[in-house]
Amino acid sequence: MNKKPKLPIETLLEHLVKHKDAVIVLGPDILEDSNYFAISDVTYECYNRKMMIKKPNEFWKYYSDNIMTPLATTNKTTKEIHSLLSMNIHSTIIDTNIVKTIAPNFEVISPNGKNNVLQCVKCQKEYDAHSMFNQLQDQQTVLKCDCGGNIKPTVLYHGEKYSTPVYQSVKNAIFTEENGKPELNTHTLIFIGVDFTDSLISELIDSYDALKDYQHYTVIITDKKNRDDLIYYNPEFGVTDDLNQALKRLINLIKEKE
């Protein structure tokens, strides 16, 4: 792999402040010490579409006992992320976590769904799962919306495809397709604590890398244990440190710049 010349951090800061269109992608490492339920092949047995229809009682009990908690998490890293967001250098936030990490005043795209949000498959109406906890614990039949459609969790089952509108909004944050020719909508892609084995994440970074030129930067902020990602993807800017420390350094530098 070609080694790119090292750019000074000032270049990144000027770039962020000039374009104000960074796409910030958040991954599971930002949840650090919080205890949450990870969707995997192991959970598939109890958490899948067939169970929801055939054994709604078991399905919703499992959902409300396991997947639904915690509803949100805040820690040192999420605090630093909020400081970064309040600087208005971003256009889009993509949070791959099913647990809410970002305050409701920021618009967030959640490709893997949110553990507190249920949705009607027919009219797309959203329901707050937390307020339905008692009902879900004792739900005997398939959960129905007023429109007659089935209500399902937004948290994807293991192996389930991303919903088309969500997948499209992730792509729109990064590319526009004009006359079949893709163009980039963002000058900076910032990955914070993401899992690059996630298919959506690897697709994002690969297609961004394929289209970008010297005016587009990739930033990877990752835990020390994942430093191989930096070697593999060779971003213009990469930091391996405790996530909150790395973010704090970046934010302090931006503040000096403003």
User: Contact residues for Zn ion (CB under 5 A)?
Assistant: 120, 122-123, 125, 145, 147, 149
Q: Quick check: 172 and 157 in contact, CB under 8 A?
A: no
C-alpha 160: how far from chain center: 16
Q: Which is nearer to Zn ion, 159 or 165 (CB)?
A: 165
Give how far Cα 8 sits from Cα of 12, 134, 179, 184, 236, Å. 7, 55, 36, 23, 10
Give how far Cα 171 sits from Cα of 92, 106, 114, 164, 177, Å. 11, 19, 19, 11, 10
Q: Which is nearer to Zn ion, 109 or 120 (CB)?
A: 120
Q: What amino acid occupies position 178?
A: E
Q: Which is nearer to Zn ion, 5 or 148 (CB)?
A: 148
Q: How far is the CB of 123 from Zn ion (least distance, A)?
A: 3
Q: How far is the CB of 148 from Zn ion (least distance, A)?
A: 7
Q: Which is nearer to Zn ion, 8 or 148 (CB)?
A: 148
Q: Quick check: 46 and 58 in contact, CB under 8 A?
A: yes
Q: How far is the CB of 71 from Zn ion (least distance, A)?
A: 23
Q: How far is the CB of 150 from Zn ion (least distance, A)?
A: 9
